[in-house]
A and B are shown apart, each in its own frame.
Chain A
Amino acid sequence: MTGLQVWWADFCADFYSSFIREDRYKLLIDGVGVTIKVSLLAIAIGILIGVLIALCNVSGFKPLKIIGGIYTDIIRGTPSVTQLMFIYFVIFANVHWEKWIIAAIAFGINSGAYVSEIIRAGILSVDHGQTEAGRSLGLNAYQTMSRIVIPQAVKNIFPALCNEFIVLIKETAIVGYVGLMDIQKAGDFIKSATYKPVMPLLGTAVIYYVLIKILTLALRQVEKFLRRSDNR
């Protein structure tokens, strides 16, 4: 047998033992489900918190600003693994919700701090003349914000927000720390069963890559739609 044939035979055997034997591929498929569930809920929570904190920060009201500032400061200053474990093992220690929900809350709280900064920058990026034009027509502050400033801010922040979502999805690869079997953990599990790291790690990487590629392409379509008013 030539070297190539040997390599190929090894590759196939490795592939078989990593993914096919004992239906191990199912672990990865279940892992994809966990990753997606946690990510989607976390993104939703992150946007909600992000908007609230951003509004706190742009509001003129001092106490709200201070709360927003402290929150952002703590979240940005500590590792997300630490936050996840703290929320799971300390804050939710006696709350018996499903693991993935608690994990999603942790990631949402983390993401909210970054989202709030993105949104704040987006609101400030809209020219003040827009606000003046809205107010001069007789719109109140809320109408001006919601109909004129926010729609333009959304367009400006969309790429940064997409980037944050992608970072968040990859960040969820640490949920194994609180005992959830996501894609990464499933890969680890297979590796420790077969003692062969290459296949499970490659498989994990490919799955994340494909997920994120799909998301990126979808978001690009959304962005194109948002930018339709820029066409000259």
Chain B
Amino acid sequence: MTSEEMSEKKATHKQEKLRLATIWLDGCSGCHMSFLDIDERLIELSELVEMVFSPLVDVKVFPEDVDITLVEGALGTEEDLHKLKKIRARTKTLVAFGDCAITANIPSMRNPFGVEETLKAVYLDKEALNLQIPVESVPPLLPRALPLHNCVKVDVFIPGCPPSADTIFFALSELIAGRTPNLMDKTRFGA
């Protein structure tokens, strides 16, 4: 979207801001950091969208009727899966945000080894004071870390680890303008 388009949109649709949500599941929050790197353009964006849920804002419950949700991170636990299904049901355009969401990326590196062996390697085979696999108050791991689209329908994919701020801004601008962004000349796996 050009800046003219954007100002036009601001003028005409002041009352109808799009409802944007972001969330991170099994990810490192790097994609969200990159999102913040949009810098001053965040202000432009805030004129067009309302941030209805995000780790960056203080809302506890994922709301209904969300227009766009950026989901960072893979599906690592049963809790992630539960959340994603809820998000899918409440979101119009679900965006797999970054490589973890698209390929399961770093979280998937445990997959060849299986849950048991992974937990043992992390919690029991390393020197530590209290050798035990945590079981209380932590959601159980899925047998394998999975990309989002293995479990729900995903509408848009933004590859990158993390996607650059420019890529994110472009993708959001296009989505706000009602277009499907073509991102492959801007980003790639591992970018």
| Same complex | no
Q: Which residues of B contact A (CB under 8 A)?
A: none
